[in-house]
């Protein structure tokens, strides 16, 4: 799992107080890029580390996915000794990040105002439900902001709002937190001073629907939910074909329309003056799409895939997430990498969707066991073996 080449954020130390998805995503991005990310997890007083470790169902993948390439330091922050240990650590850090409820870090004495006094160069990333304002007292979840932020309205049918099928705001909000930290690092190189960075789920969601907000202002018409939208393209749909299989097919330009009609011998459609250009085909969708559904229904999805690929026409199979574990492109390009779960099983994880110098960013360490790095980290902070034992096993 190790890589000999240096990474952009090697030498940057991040101390994170995070759980769930948004905060850990921010740290994962920085960790994948080479930062030393230390995950401080609570123990004592009924705590056994990040509660995300124990989630079932749709949350079962959160911990191993978003906490790779990190170290775990388990402390009881409610004791003076645990608090002192984490303050010693923060004094050596470049970045602190947190995504707990408003007021939690202040109650612990770990808010930005307190920490910048001991480390003026510190960059403090706070990842919340809302930026400061009338809503910031509310408890936010990804689904909450999707509902109130227009995304569920756009995804579902009118009167049937539907959340997106993944934690889009948590993940993207964490990414914006990392981008903010990167910007603050660049500014610190000029000024020598740290700063507070804030990222929020609601504002992230609003950014996602900004195109529809702008559409309304440009056209004067509200954006229709995606199932009802007027497509910008004449052919841009999921088709049910032979044996009930589904496939997405698109014909988005006039040149593509000619190719499509030639390949399938649809000269009658190509000669129809009502279908002469894309905008006319958009206006004809109410009868054109049912006609194409009828004509294409007896072809297999495999055949249509081969024809569309051969002629550089856009198409896509309808794929479930677990099917991507066997995707030939991901396997050939190194987009999947082995990762060891805390129970010892080896699985495949998805790498960041970018490359540097034509190389993907590697998994250097699987998500850590609780307190896995207590001894090495606390020893580096000057603690004796006896003190480390006491800090790691609070009564």
User: Using one digit for the tens of pLDDT, what is the confidence trace for 322-356?
Assistant: 999 999 999 999 999 999 999 999 999 999 999 99
- pLDDT given for residue 3 in this prediction: 47
> Who contacts 56 (Cβ-Cβ below 8 Å, separation ≥6)?
none
**Dist CA 89 CA 95 (whole Å):** 11
Give the chain's largest Cα–Cα span.
86
| Alpha helix positions (H), the chain | 22-32, 62-66, 80-90, 104-107, 112-118, 142-148, 151-155, 168-191, 201-208, 210-219, 254-263, 267-271, 278-283, 285-296, 301-310, 328-333, 374-380, 385-392
- Average the pLDDT over 60-85 and give the result: 97
**Dist CA 103 CA 140 (whole Å):** 15
- pLDDT given for residue 392 in this prediction: 96
DSSP state of 246: E
Residue 237 β-bridge partners:
249
- pLDDT given for residue 98 in this prediction: 98
**Chain centroid to CA 65: how far?**
11
Q: Residue 1: is its pLDDT beyond 60?
A: no
**DSSP run (H or E) holding 39:** strand 36-44
- Average the pLDDT over 23-34 and give the result: 98
- pLDDT given for residue 232 in this prediction: 86
**Dist CA 246 CA 282 (whole Å):** 22
User: Using one digit for the tens of pLDDT, what is the confidence trace for 121-178?
Assistant: 999 999 999 999 999 999 999 999 999 999 999 999 999 999 999 999 999 999 999 9
% of the chain with per-residue pLDDT over 90: 95
**DSSP run (H or E) holding 186:** helix 168-191
DSSP state of 163: -
- pLDDT given for residue 228 in this prediction: 86
Q: Report the CATH fold assignment for 13-208+328-392.
A: Rossmann fold (3.40.50)
User: Using one digit for the tens of pLDDT, what is the confidence trace for 236-259?
Assistant: 999 999 999 999 999 999 999 999
Query: Which sign does the torsion angle of CA 356, 203, 50, 379 carry?
Result: positive
**What are the start and end residues of each CATH 3.40.50.10540 domain in the chain?**
13-208+328-392
Q: Report the CATH fold assignment for 231-321.
A: formyl-coa transferase, domain 3 (3.30.1540)
Rounded to whole angstroms, what are the CA distances from 276 to 27, 269, 279, 308?
Answer: 52, 9, 9, 21
**DSSP run (H or E) holding 332:** helix 328-333
Which of the four pLDDT bands, split at 50, 70 and 90, describes residue 394? confident
CA angle 123, 126, 131 (to 5 degrees): 125
Q: Of residues 170, 237, 286, 343, which has the active-site annotation?
A: 170
Contact predicate 177/110, CB 8 Å: no
- pLDDT given for residue 2 in this prediction: 45
**DSSP run (H or E) holding 32:** helix 22-32
Active site residue 326: no
% of the chain with per-residue pLDDT over 70: 98
Contact predicate 247/292, CB 8 Å: no
**DSSP run (H or E) holding 339:** strand 336-340
> Who contacts 180 (Cβ-Cβ below 8 Å, separation ≥6)?
125, 197, 198, 199
- pLDDT given for residue 279 in this prediction: 95
- pLDDT given for residue 235 in this prediction: 97
User: Using one digit for the tens of pLDDT, what is the confidence trace for 347-386?
Assistant: 999 999 999 999 999 999 999 999 999 999 999 999 999 9
- pLDDT given for residue 46 in this prediction: 85
Q: Residue 14: is its pLDDT beyond 80?
A: yes
Helices (H) and strands (E) in the chain, counts: 18, 14
User: Using one digit for the tens of pLDDT, what is the confidence trace for 311-322?
Assistant: 999 999 999 999
Which of the four pLDDT bands, split at 50, 70 and 90, describes residue 19? very high
User: Using one digit for the tens of pLDDT, what is the confidence trace for 175-217?
Assistant: 999 999 999 999 999 999 999 999 999 999 999 999 999 999 9
- pLDDT given for residue 115 in this prediction: 98
**What are the start and end residues of each CATH 3.30.1540.10 domain in the chain?**
231-321
- Average the pLDDT over 55-82 and give the result: 96
- Average the pLDDT over 36-40 and give the result: 98
């Amino acid at each position: 799992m190790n890589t000999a080449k240096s990474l952009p954020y090697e030498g940057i130390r991040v101390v994170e107080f995070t759980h769930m998805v948004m905060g850990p995503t921010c740290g994962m991005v920085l960790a994948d890029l080479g930062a030393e990310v230390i995950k401080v997890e609570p123990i004592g007083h009924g705590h056994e580390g990040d509660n995300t470790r124990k989630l079932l169902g749709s949350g079962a993948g959160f911990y191993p996915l978003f906490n790779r390439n990190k170290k775990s330091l388990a402390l009881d922050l409610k004791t003076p000794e645990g608090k002192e240990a984490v303050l010693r650590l923060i004094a050596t850090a470049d970045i602190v990040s947190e995504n707990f409820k408003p007021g939690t870090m202040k109650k612990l004495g770990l808010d930005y105002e307190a920490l910048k006094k001991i480390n003026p160069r510190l960059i403090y990333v706070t990842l919340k439900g809302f930026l400061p304002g009338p809503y910031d007292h509310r408890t936010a979840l990804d689904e909450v902001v999707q509902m109130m932020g227009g995304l569920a309205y756009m995804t579902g049918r009118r009167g049937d709002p539907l959340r997106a099928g993944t934690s889009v705001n948590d993940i993207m909000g964490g990414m914006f937190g990392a981008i903010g930290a990167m910007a603050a690092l660049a500014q610190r190189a000029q000024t020598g001073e740290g700063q507070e960075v804030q990222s929020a789920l609601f504002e992230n969601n609003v950014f996602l629907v900004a195109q529809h907000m702008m559409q309304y202002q440009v056209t004067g018409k509200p954006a229709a939910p995606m199932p009802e939208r007027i497509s910008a393209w004449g052919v841009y749909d999921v088709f049910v074909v032979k044996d009930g299989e589904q496939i997405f097919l698109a014909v988005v330009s006039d040149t593509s329309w000619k190719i499509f009609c030639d390949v399938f011998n649809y000269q009658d459609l190509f000669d129809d003056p009502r279908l002469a250009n894309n905008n006319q085909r958009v206006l004809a969708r109410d009868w054109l799409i049912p006609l194409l559904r009828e004509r294409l229904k007896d072809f297999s999805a495999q055949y249509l895939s081969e024809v569309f690929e051969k002629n550089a026409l856009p198409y896509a199979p309808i794929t479930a997430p677990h099917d991507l574990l066997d995707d030939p492109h991901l396997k050939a390009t190194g987009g999947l990498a082995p990762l060891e779960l805390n129970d010892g099983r080896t699985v495949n994880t998805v790498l960041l969707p970018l490359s540097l110098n034509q190389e993907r960013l590697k998994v250097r360490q699987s998500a850590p066991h609780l307190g896995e790095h207590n001894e090495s980290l606390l020893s580096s902070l000057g603690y004796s073996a006896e003190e480390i034992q006491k800090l790691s096993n609070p009564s």
